[in-house]
Every structure is written in C-alpha cells, then in structure tokens.
Amino acid sequence: MDADFIAQFRHLHEHHWWWRTRLAIINRVLDKHARRAPGSPVLDVGCGDGLMFDDLSRFGDVFGIEADSNAVDDNGPWRSRIHVGRFDESFRPDERFHLVTMLDVLEHLPDAPGALERVRQLMADDGLFVLTVPAFNSLWTSHDEICHHYTRYTRGMLLPMLRDAGFDIVQSRYLFHWTAPAKVVIRLNEWLFNRRATTPKVPSPFWNRFFAGLTAVEERISCVVPVPFGTSLLVVARPAAPVIAGTIPSPVKRSTIAAT
C-alpha cells in the first residue's frame, strides 16, 4: 500500500464505516463457524499492526505475519506476536493453526495459488480458513492501484483456486452490494475526467452512520436473499483432506512466529 494509506490504516479500521462493517460481518462469521480453543494457535495473515488480534483472541492464541514493516509499530502491544516477512516457505512456525484469517490480503500477493497452498500446509486438518477479497475486475478503480492490488476476484475465480489448494468451501458470498454501482460511477468518472482516488478518509459523522446503517440493512436482506454481486467476496473454507506427510517444513521454535 501507499505510505499515506498505511499511516491512516489504524484510524480507518477504528472509525470508517466500511472497516467497522466488515469487522462486524467477520465477527459474526467467526462466532458461527470457529471454535473457541484457548491456547490453540490462530494466525492472521497480513495482520498489519495486529488490528484484528483483540477480536481473534477469543478463539485462541493469536499470531500474525505482515510483509510490510512500515505497517507494524515497533512499540505496539502485539509486536512480539507479529512476524515481519513474506508469507512463503520462509515462514516456518512450529504448530499448525486451527484458525487462519486472510482479510483483504490475497489480492496483494503475486502468487495467490501458492499463498493458498501455504495456508493449507500450515492449518490443522480440522481448522477453519476465513478470507475476504475485493470483487470483480470490472469494478477496478485507481483505489486498487493505491492499494497495490494485482486483481479483484469472483467466486468463479477464487473457489476453484481454493479447492485446488486442498479446501472444501463452507460458505461464499458477496458483500457491500450497494457500493457496486457506486464503483461503476467512480470508474466512469475516472475514465472521462482522468480523476484519481486519494487516500480514504473517514466521512463526516452523519454520512459515516448513514453508510453503516445502509450496509447493515443490506446485510439482513442478503442473508435471506443472496445477491450475486458486490464489491467484496467472503469465503469460509475447511481443509478437504489431511496434508500428505512431508509437505510441512521441519518444525522450528515458536519464536520464529514472533517479531523479527
């Protein structure tokens, strides 16, 4: 992400209607599908500064991995539990995780199939995987460029990739439906007038509450009547079969999960 975006990320996570709504959705999904297992390892891939750790800690002992050192506060409360480095074979924790989250991260990775295979390798056979991604390349705007996205996904793209990586799909659905036509308007505006997005800002209190309320109503409706489009895609998956012996790297000490 751009440096300005990274600098604003905690504020956006704590105050912006979109991040607050996504957090509420993720928490409902976790409460429904994840088991609470105190002491069992939980991994948040692309964790930033551990912004989800408070919410994830009720499901186990939370660790994270973050590729961008600028996103991690060296004095943050979770620093000792965040491994700074790439999510690849160099990340070698000593335990499999019973819960893995990857929230709007996969679109930043050049090798998405490899990343999903790595998630499967690091998961317990009875674990749960929850991920979100931006949806539909037809909704691509300059905001995706600010965020350094490689692509936006559809279910037709992502679900086969997950199955090939060794997952069974528990749930998949699109989120933020009303923002899809708004994205179309933004894309058209950018094309006609060569305008470009800037770092997101928290709207005024009125509009922040309005957009949050509108999305909450939409959520209630879409849980009853699925909507085949949206600007985000949520998938919940479980390992399809045990990992073949020998595919997990040799264990190393838990300290390799912590700060580096």
Tokens of 213: 């309320």
pLDDT at 252: 39
What number of other Cβ atoms are within 10 A of residue 17's Cβ? 20
**Domain ranges (residues) in the chain:** 3-257
Q: Are 129 and 238 in contact (CB under 8 A)?
A: yes
pLDDT cut 90: percent of the chain above it: 74
Nearest to 62 by CA among 19, 29, 97: 97
* CA gyration radius, the chain: 18
pLDDT in tens, 145-158: 988 999 999 999 99
Tokens of 159: 């679900």
Given a cut of 60, whether residue 137 has pLDDT beyond it is: yes
Return left, alpha or beta for 60; rule: phi > 0 is left, psi -120 to 50 is alpha, else beta: left
Q: Are 128 and 34 in contact (CB under 8 A)?
A: yes
Q: Indicate the CATH number for domain 3-257.
A: 3.40.50.150
DSSP β-bridge partners for residue 102: 45, 131
Q: How far apart are CA 90 and CA 97, in angstroms?
A: 17
pLDDT at 257: 57
pLDDT in tens, 173-202: 999 999 999 999 999 999 888 888 788 899
pLDDT cut 70: percent of the chain above it: 90
pLDDT in tens, 68-124: 998 999 998 999 999 999 999 999 998 899 999 999 999 999 999 999 999 999 999
pLDDT at 2: 59
Q: Are 148 and 3 in contact (CB under 8 A)?
A: no
Q: Provide the 8-state DSSP code for 178.
A: T
Q: How does strand 232-239 pair with strand 123-134?
A: antiparallel
DSSP β-bridge partners for residue 43: 63, 100
pLDDT at 23: 96
Q: What is the chain's mean pLDDT, rounded?
A: 90
Q: How far apart are CA 42 and CA 240, in angstroms?
A: 19
Given a cut of 70, whether residue 243 has pLDDT beyond it is: no
pTM (predicted TM-score)? 0.89
